[in-house]
Amino acid sequence: MMASSYSAKDEDGHITVTGPGGAALRSKKPENTAFKQQRLPAWQPILTAGTVLPAFFIIGLIFIPIGIGLFVTSNNIREFEVDYTGVDESSPCFNCSQNFSWNSTTPCSCSIPFTLEQSYENNVFMYYGLSNFYQNHRRYVKSRDDSQLNGHLGSLKQPSKECEPYAKHENKPIAPCGAIANSMFNDTLELFYHDPNGTKVLIPLRATGIAWWTDKHVKFGNPGDGLNLTAEFQGTTKPVNWRKPVYELDADPLNNGFINEDFIVWMRTAALPTFRKLYRIISRKDNMVPTLLRGNYSLEVVYNYPVRSFEGRKRMILSTISWMGGKNPFLGIAYITVGSVCFFLGVVLLIIHHKYGNRNNSADISN
pLDDT for 22 equals 56
Claim to verify: residue 58 and residue 145 sit in the same structural domain: no
pTM of the model: 0.78
Claim to verify: residue 290 and residue 349 sit in the same structural domain: no
Claim to verify: residue 285 and residue 351 sit in the same structural domain: no
Q: For 288-308, what is the mean pLDDT?
A: 90
In a domain, residue 28? The reply is: no
Provide the residue range defining the domain that includes 246: 79-320
Q: For 209-218, what is the mean pLDDT?
A: 93
In this model, does residue 130 exceed pLDDT 50? yes
Claim to verify: residue 97 and residue 240 sit in the same structural domain: yes
As a three-state string, the secondary structure of the chain is CCCCCEEEECCCCCEEEECHHHCEEECCCCCCCCCCCCCCCCCCCCCCHHHHHHHHHHHHHHHHHHHHHHHHHHHCCCEEEEECCCCCCCCCCHHHHHHCCCCCCCCEEEEEEEEECCCECCCEEEEEEEECCCCCCHHHHHCCCHHHHCCCHHHHHCCCHHHCCCCEECCEEECCCCHHHHCCCCCEEEEEEECCCCCEEECCCECCCCCCHHHHHHHCCCCCCCCCHHHHCCCCECCCCCCCCHHHCCCCHHHCHHHCHHHHHHHCCCCCCCEEEEEEEECCCCCCCCCECCEEEEEEEEECCCCHHHCCEEEEEEECCECCECCCCHHHHHHHHHHHHHHHHHHHHHHHHHHHCCCCCHHHHHC
In a domain, residue 14? The reply is: no
pLDDT for 367 equals 43
In a domain, residue 329? The reply is: no
When divided into structural domains, the chain yields a total of 2
What percentage of the chain carries pLDDT values higher than 70? 88
In a domain, residue 27? The reply is: no
Q: What is the mean pLDDT of the chain?
A: 87
In this model, does residue 285 exceed pLDDT 70? yes
pLDDT for 163 equals 94
In a domain, residue 309? The reply is: yes
Give 298 or 361, the one with higher predicted confidence: 298
Claim to verify: residue 277 and residue 343 sit in the same structural domain: no
- CA angle in degrees (0–180, nearest 5) for 271-277-283: 150
In this model, does residue 145 exceed pLDDT 60? yes
Claim to verify: residue 279 and residue 353 sit in the same structural domain: no
pLDDT for 308 equals 86
> Using one digit for the tens of pLDDT, what is the confidence trace for 172-206?
999 999 999 999 999 999 999 999 888 999 999 99
In this model, does residue 18 exceed pLDDT 80? no
Claim to verify: residue 209 and residue 134 sit in the same structural domain: yes
Q: For 151-161, what is the mean pLDDT?
A: 90
> Using one digit for the tens of pLDDT, what is the confidence trace for 1-17?
444 555 555 555 555 55
In this model, does residue 322 exceed pLDDT 90? no
Q: For 95-110, what is the mean pLDDT?
A: 77
Q: For 239-245, what is the mean pLDDT?
A: 91
Claim to verify: residue 55 and residue 103 sit in the same structural domain: no
In a domain, residue 4? The reply is: no
pLDDT for 361 equals 46
Claim to verify: residue 105 and residue 59 sit in the same structural domain: no
pLDDT for 25 equals 56
Cα–Cα distance for residue pair 367/364, rounded to 1 Å = 5
Claim to verify: residue 186 and residue 280 sit in the same structural domain: yes
In this model, does residue 363 exceed pLDDT 50? no
pLDDT for 306 equals 87
> Using one digit for the tens of pLDDT, what is the confidence trace for 20-78?
555 555 667 888 888 888 888 888 888 888 888 999 999 999 999 999 999 999 998 88
Among 187-191, 224-228, 289-293, the range scoring the smallest mean pLDDT is: 224-228
In a domain, residue 363? The reply is: no
In this model, does residue 269 exceed pLDDT 90? yes
Claim to verify: residue 115 and residue 71 sit in the same structural domain: no
Claim to verify: residue 102 and residue 60 sit in the same structural domain: no
In a domain, residue 43? The reply is: no
